[in-house]
Amino acid sequence: MPRFKLIIEYDGAPYVGWQRQANGFSVQEAVEAALLAISGEPAAARGAGRTDAGVHAKGQAAHVDLAKDWRPDRLRDALNAHLKPEPVAILSAERVSDSFDARFSAIRRHYLYRIINRRAPLTIERGRAWLVKRRLDADAMAQAAAGLLGRHDFSTFRASECQADSPVRTLDRLDVKRIGDEIEIRASARSFLHRQVRSMVGSLEYVGSGKWSAFELVAALEARDRSRCGVVAPPDGLYLMQVDYADE
């Protein structure tokens, strides 16, 4: 059966996450419903990352096996026609080899977390960023973030229900940058633990607000203890931006 790689954008607010779950409607189900509508038979969409409820994506990757060898642009357009009015869009479709796996072939995942740092409430950005009213020191956050780079046991920043076999991960990038009232935090790694990015962002907020020093952030990491984590940042500000593969 022909295998296709899909790049998907979605507003995660209405969904229980990417993956099919018993407690509500998922992005995966929305895509699979569209696949059923165009092919007349069930097809599984297997994603590169299991984003949580409320988390958004600008570059989620998935693969799907279909009986028909679609022209990629027609597959994209047909799926988008059947996805309406869901806030989900297929940005591109590409024919790939049978050995391609959206999850296991990935070599790096890139996330963006957006903090709006101002007193006024959110309007246009409501549900798409974390509003923090107290002034944050983005420079201090950036300096502290460097202490989390590299290969570590990230148990402190791992959700209690995380199912990963090991808490050890290699964090390649954790940049913090202020642009006006917005603070962008960009994280890159081959893979992340469940809620790792949101946990790191929440702890960096502690640094930015003066609750923690950079030393205390590193001490929390080294404790390997979930109870030492700062607040977990809400899902609203998190975006899966891109997934890299070796052949790209």
Q: Which of 96, 128, 160 is the last residue of a domain?
A: 96
Cα dihedral across residues 13, 14, 18, 24: positive or negative? positive
Which residues make Cβ contacts (< 8 Å) with residue 213, sequence separation at least 6? 144, 207
pLDDT band at 243 (very low <50, low <70, confident <90, very high): very high
Which two structure tokens, joined as six digits, stand for 193? 């633990």
Q: What is the pLDDT of residue 183?
A: 98
Q: What is the pLDDT of residue 1?
A: 87
Which residues make Cβ contacts (< 8 Å) with residue 155, sequence separation at least 6? 167, 224, 225, 226
For residues 93 and 49, the model is more confident at 93
76 with 117, same domain: the answer is no
Distance from C-alpha of 30 to C-alpha of 106, rounded to nearest angstrom: 23
For residues 221 and 38, is the Cβ–Cβ distance under 8 A?
no
| pLDDT digits 0-9 by tens, 25-37 | 999 999 999 999 9
Q: Which domain holds residue 35?
A: 3-96
Distance from C-alpha of 134 to C-alpha of 170, rounded to nearest angstrom: 31
Q: What is the pLDDT of residue 162?
A: 84
Q: Is residue 247 over pLDDT 80?
A: no
Q: What is the CATH number of the domain that holds 50?
A: 3.30.70.580
Q: What is the pLDDT of residue 102?
A: 97
Q: Is residue 89 over pLDDT 90?
A: yes
pLDDT band at 248 (very low <50, low <70, confident <90, very high): low
Residues of the chain above pLDDT 90, percent: 94
The residues annotated as belonging to the active site are: 52
DSSP character at residue 105:
T
Q: What is the pLDDT of residue 111?
A: 98
54 with 156, same domain: the answer is no
169 with 79, same domain: the answer is no
| pLDDT digits 0-9 by tens, 168-192 | 999 999 999 999 999 999 999 999 9
Distance from C-alpha of 28 to C-alpha of 218, rounded to nearest angstrom: 36
What's the rounded mean pLDDT across residues 213-222? 97
pLDDT band at 226 (very low <50, low <70, confident <90, very high): very high
113 with 201, same domain: the answer is yes
| pLDDT digits 0-9 by tens, 118-160 | 999 999 999 999 999 999 999 999 999 999 999 999 999 999 8
Q: Is residue 17 over pLDDT 70?
A: yes
Helix (H, G, I), strand (E, B) or coil at 241: strand
State the total domains in the chain.
2
Indicate the helix (H) or strand (E) that contains 36: helix 27-39
Quote the mean pLDDT of the chain. Answer: 96
